[in-house]
Amino acid sequence: MKSPTELTEAFRANGLKVTPQRQLLFRLMHGNTMHPTAEALFSDASTQMPGISLRTVYQTLTDLASMGELRLIDVGAGAVRFDPNVDDHHHVVCEMCGDVRDVYVAGSQNLSIDGLDGFAVDSTSILFHGSCAKCA
């Protein structure tokens, strides 16, 4: 994800306005490795800006996602999570505490895959399920 300053430029360039709510969310997501849910971010944002709406958090996150500045990740645990890391990477989720971390996978071009006939594949997501060091 771009820096808050760069995002300000990018939003204006796209005809979108840069409000205090959005700037706060830019800062909260920049460099964030927590893979937060919308609710979690809303909670964080609320401490710094009481009265901010959950709807606004969702709105801004989906705007960022559609600009390619964030990735949505679904670990099958109810709520979607947001990841400012847009590198080509995957995830591991702890089934006990729900913690999610980034995983880098190399060598996938050597996989032998059967069943993709007729499909044009756009993207691949690999999700590892297990238990983290703390929960083991």
Partner DNA sequence: TTGCTAATCTGCATGAATTGTTAACTAGCA
Partner DNA sequence: TGCTAGTTAACAATTCATGCAGATTAGCAA
| Residue 54 vs 132, nearer CB to DNA | 54
> In 3-state terms, what secondary structure has residue 89?
coil
Two tokens at 106? 């190399």
Nearer to DNA, 83 or 105 (CB): 83
Q: Which residue has the tokens 């205090």?
A: 20
Binding at 53: pick from DNA, a copy of itself, none (beta carbon under 5-8 Å per type): DNA
| Structure tokens given for 58 | 């969702």
Binding stretches for a copy of itself (CB under 8 A): 74, 76, 89, 92, 94-95, 101-108, 110-116, 118-133, 136
**Within the chain, what is the greatest distance between any pair of CA atoms?**
52
**Quick one: what does residue 21 bind among DNA, a copy of itself, none, with the CB cut-off 5 to 8 Å set by partner type?**
DNA
The nearest distance, CB 63 to a copy of itself, in angstroms, is 19
- Those residues whose C-beta lies under 8 Å from the C-beta of residue 35, and which sit 6 or more positions away, are 73, 81, 82, 83, 91, 100, 101
Chain residues that interact with DNA, rule: CB under 7 A = 8, 11-12, 15-22, 37-39, 49, 51-56, 58-60, 62, 78-80
Q: Please state, in angstroms and rounded to a whole number, the distance separating the CA atoms of residues 113 and 127.
A: 17
CB of 40 to a copy of itself, least distance (A): 19
Question: Rg of the chain's alpha carbons, rounded to an integer?
Answer: 17
Smallest separation (angstroms) from DNA to the CB of 111: 29
The binder of 32, among DNA, a copy of itself, none, by C-beta within 5 to 8 A per type, is none
CB of 102 to a copy of itself, least distance (A): 6
Residues 6+ apart with CB under 8 A from 26: 4, 7, 8
